[in-house]
Amino acid sequence: MSKASDTEEEFFARQEAERLRKLSFEQQRAVEVGERERLRALHHMCCPKCGLSLQTLRFKDVEVDRCFACQGTWLDEGELERLAGKEAGFLHRVVGLFGSPEKP
């Protein structure tokens, strides 16, 4: 085999390897996206602490996700900032509003 045909064969082998590498990357990406969607559907509106259902309460135009099983309160990205920007002392008011009744 001549030197020129070796070079040509290597060129096509590299080209095919690159095509297959890109195909593999796209397949991995599709699995990752599918897995993220599956996990999101499985855990959506479930308490990250105890796994039971979250309930949505509206406070100051912000939707607050509350778990009445473990008393956890969850905010989506940016919601804490939105609440904090409105007035001072908001945390005390939120906890007082959604917290458990005080024991006598």
Q: How far is the CB of 58 from Zn ion (least distance, A)?
A: 19
The smaller minimum CB distance to Zn ion, of residues 54 and 62, is found at 54
Question: Can you give the binding site for Zn ion, defined by CB under 5 A?
Answer: 47, 49-50, 67, 69-70, 72
Q: How far is the CB of 94 from Zn ion (least distance, A)?
A: 17
Q: Is the distance from CB of 66 to CB of 100 less than 8 angstroms?
A: no
The smaller minimum CB distance to Zn ion, of residues 34 and 51, is found at 51
Task: Name the DSSP class of 42.
Answer: H
Give the Å distances, CA to CA, from 100 to 63, 67, 69, 73, 84: 19, 11, 11, 12, 22
Q: How far is the CB of 49 from Zn ion (least distance, A)?
A: 5
